[in-house]
Amino acid sequence: MNNEKSLYLNTYHGNLGFELVSEKLNNVDVDQLLESLLGKEETPIESTLVKEQTIVRIRLEKRRRHVVTVIEIDGADAKKLDIESLAKELKRKLAAGGTVHDNVIELQGDHRYKVKKILTEMGFNPDNILIDESVHEA
């Protein structure tokens, strides 16, 4: 295989997939093509700005016999943050189970203040992390 990169586009069940193959793509840079199709990747500075500007609301819900810490992330910023990996990291650090629904992370147990501390360590602005002191019935 020569050093030339090329691109093969395919569709599979309606999803657009990209595969590199050994064919030449008429002197078009594959990296530029992918960047124009998929959008520019976020730089660390942009990621830091998003974290600092994101508004996070933390509340506690009582469900049957247990409590759940609910973390809501501002809808506009939720798409820019990788909520799945954020939830995975929180669950790992808190040794708790949990799930993600849209822009909401749910953790088993009362972890309101621990979550705020962890999010602050991850680069979120502590002034934008709002904790609801009351317990809501679900």
Whether 2 is in a domain gets the answer: no
Whether 83 is in a domain gets the answer: yes
Whether 82 is in a domain gets the answer: yes
Question: Which domain range does residue 13 map to?
Answer: 7-41
Q: Determine whether 124 is exposed, middle or buried from the number of CB atoms within 10 Å of its CB (0-12, 13-18, 19+).
A: buried
Whether 130 is in a domain gets the answer: yes
Residue 32 and residue 84 in one domain: no
Q: How many domains does the chain have?
A: 2
Cα torsion angle, 35, 54, 120, 70, sign: negative
Residue 122 and residue 62 in one domain: yes
Instruction: Show pLDDT as tens, one digit a residue, over the chain (138 residues).
Output: 444 444 444 444 444 554 544 444 555 566 666 665 666 565 667 677 788 888 999 999 999 889 999 999 986 667 778 899 999 999 999 999 999 998 999 999 999 999 999 999 999 999 999 999 998 887
